[in-house]
Structure 1
């Protein structure tokens, strides 16, 4: 088995738990919001798909365009093959992500950065073993996330020899359109930076929607570890800040501003010195009502005050104490790093700590979970367990994709992960 297929099968089995005996693709979510860039890509791919539809129909093939969730938007090709395809859900308004049907060219292409060919029995679900398919995803040139996927499918025959080359050519044309738009957006960010510069006691940086630096003044460049006053309009050569919490804040701001055009915000980020926090103010920049980046000022404040945990970042420098009871009239003040696991027992919560098993002063694991949410260190992995991510020593994988966490305390406590939380644990540990 080819490595990319084996890896996809493993995701299908262990991460997505797809039934290999499913008979058709599930219906897609009815309402999905698309960005302007996605609409541009859909139009480009649709034009190229329609142009080759007649040629592909002669070989009995079907061509589809789907969005980033794997939802098919349109299909062209041989009429008889399309009729067969519709019976299995290979048609508009059905979902073909890996998380929906397992290994397939559309879903697997969304997980990779190159064209993917899946031949007959390489499909995870047996119902699709009579299909040979090829797909390629078009990705955002700034953030790298998939925007759409183009796919060719043939029933009981091999794909045409030119399939891979045609898919790559179509994707390249769509990417070129996105690069031009991103370059224009970079020029707009440079103009916005020049217009906003010169505020006293505030260093300033202009970033794109993914946190890449378009330009930073001398003071901001030192903080971020990037060249000062050096424009990077081209999205392929933008500077990457050396502060992860800064990038998390910029990406959070993109999500908020996309949903609310009037949004501005402030937060604190970690500098290269772990005990030092800096305040930043964030002002989104728009072009044609689409957010294209942000002006971020160090020492500035604006709008919503948010914490790093909301952005997906980890604010390790944040001081926090967890109160435990050693005796009825004696409290122990514990640092977050001293607690490996919190376990519920009815309304009581027991803490596995460096000083042994202690009862928490708070009643109810939900309350403790809420109290520690903004630290970014603790994760609810089971209705009975809250774990300190930094205290996990090993991850044990069991049958059916189940996970067990082995903690680094003296007893090497084992903590089960509930099925619904497996994906969250994998994301948090980057596994």
Structure 2
């Protein structure tokens, strides 16, 4: 292969794991006990049964539904993944395997492998133009990778549909570095065999290489947004901010930064360092602008939001920014109402229907928690942990950003890049020698730091 990476010999696929099969049989009948099942799989089963309602006795994947086109940069990802899939296909062909590339909807775009295995794969519609998202085909390597971060192996009876229990699969999603939405999935499937020992590391390496040009382009786009901001600010005295296509702030002047609760005049070119304003209506308006501008490059919109330090609505005008015909973000002017009104349905004060319960994992069991039982959530590496009345539990949410979005409007607030807290469980506020804030939570009396960018929102939320 181009980078010297090769797949090692196969390892056990656990296809005959009787405990997983027994748990699957009980779960499809309505039992919530999933002893012996990995948490990632148990949570996926829960989605398939409760949310997607996939028939566990489905015998083949459904035909994919045609959707609108994708941005040009996605073609770069598809090409890179296709190259890597083709170069490794001869290795997995010897163990009855196929390599697949799917899009963000779970539709297989292409696959590689030996003819005998490809023919067998087609019997289950593991083939181009069929859909393998979780909502279409249940728990599987490709579809579950769209719901998670990092390599996702699904072995034998871990598949939601019994017809796929003879397969052992693994997949990894390549995600947009700005909005974190999936772009494609690279998958590896073996028939009644074993996944190669280095399958997960190979998938992770391939995904990282496919993301590299996306990161480079995102940094360049961030620099171009800063330049567009500087040009506009030199001609206008109105408060101004530049945001990316996900609604995160790249740079804001002093007045705009105060309204958004982010540092002033601090460029955040790298997509991993951009500021999250924590204002659902502002983020929703920015993302609505992204969708509108993608179809109408001349679109300009306006709406009203409520900023961090005040209760009075503030009008904003949103003007998309393009670079070489590519949408890279928007310039947001405060105190202006130029352009087409953004539908209020697109900018709710809070996300619709916040959850009444959170799903967590204890060992091999799923735990359903009332929101009042959760003191705070903490990000640790690729996992999110919940401090609850039952102790520490791992959250089903794949990221703290996702959990923060789900809990908006439910009495929870992002106070730090690592923490989301239940405001009702805050008992004391400590002020450091340099003015920094810390929150003392009830019960175990843990002390959590408040980042400078979130301090204004915390003061406002707690009335201090």
The structure with higher relative contact order (CA 8 Å, sep 6+) is 2
Tell me the SS of whatever aligns to 1:111. Answer: coil
Indicate how the Cα distance of structure 1 residues 393 and 117 shifts in structure 2: closer, same or farther if over 3 A, else same: closer
| Cα distance in 2 between the residues matched to 1:250 and 1:92 | 35
Alignment: residue pair count: 327
- Does residue 45 (structure 1) correspond to residue 88 (structure 2)? The answer is no
* Larger CA deviation: 58-67 vs 266-275: 266-275
Cα distance, 1:242 vs structure 2? 3.6
1:227 to 232, 242, 263: 263
Tell me the SS of whatever aligns to 1:251. Answer: helix
- Does residue 144 (structure 1) correspond to residue 180 (structure 2)? The answer is yes
Tell me the equivalent position of 1:319: none
| Cα distance in 2 between the residues matched to 1:202 and 1:263 | 20
The C-alpha deviation readout for 1:106-142, integer Å capped at 9, x for no partner, is 1100000111000011100011010000000011111
TM-score by length of 1: 0.72
Q: How does 1:29-428 map to 2 (within 5 A)?
A: 29-272=65-308, 275-311=311-347, 313-314=348-349
| Cα distance in 1 between the residues matched to 2:234 and 2:325 | 26
| Cα distance in 1 between the residues matched to 2:357 and 2:279 | 27
Indicate how the Cα distance of structure 1 residues 43 and 80 shifts in structure 2: closer, same or farther if over 3 A, else same: same
Question: 8 Å contact 2:261–2:308 — kept in the other structure?
Answer: no
Tell me the SS of whatever aligns to 1:197. Answer: helix
2:49 to 6, 13, 27: 13
The C-alpha deviation readout for 1:281-327, integer Å capped at 9, x for no partner, is 0110112322110011001232211244224x327xxxxxxxxxxxx
Question: 8 Å contact 1:23–1:127 — kept in the other structure?
Answer: yes
Tell me the SS of whatever aligns to 1:252. Answer: helix
The C-alpha deviation readout for 1:216-270, integer Å capped at 9, x for no partner, is 1111111111111111111111111142221111111111111221211000001
The C-alpha deviation readout for 1:183-213, integer Å capped at 9, x for no partner, is 1111111111111113444111111101111
Tell me the SS of whatever aligns to 2:174. Answer: strand
Tell me the SS of whatever aligns to 2:263. Answer: coil
Question: 8 Å contact 1:265–1:305 — kept in the other structure?
Answer: yes
Tell me the equivalent position of 1:356: none
The C-alpha deviation readout for 1:383-425, integer Å capped at 9, x for no partner, is xxxxxx58x9789xxxxxxxxxxxxxxxxxxxxxxxxxxxxxx
Indicate how the Cα distance of structure 1 residues 83 and 270 shifts in structure 2: closer, same or farther if over 3 A, else same: same
| Cα distance in 2 between the residues matched to 1:289 and 1:200 | 25
Question: 8 Å contact 1:201–1:299 — kept in the other structure?
Answer: no
Question: 8 Å contact 1:24–1:127 — kept in the other structure?
Answer: yes
Tell me the SS of whatever aligns to 2:190. Answer: strand
Tell me the SS of whatever aligns to 1:198. Answer: helix
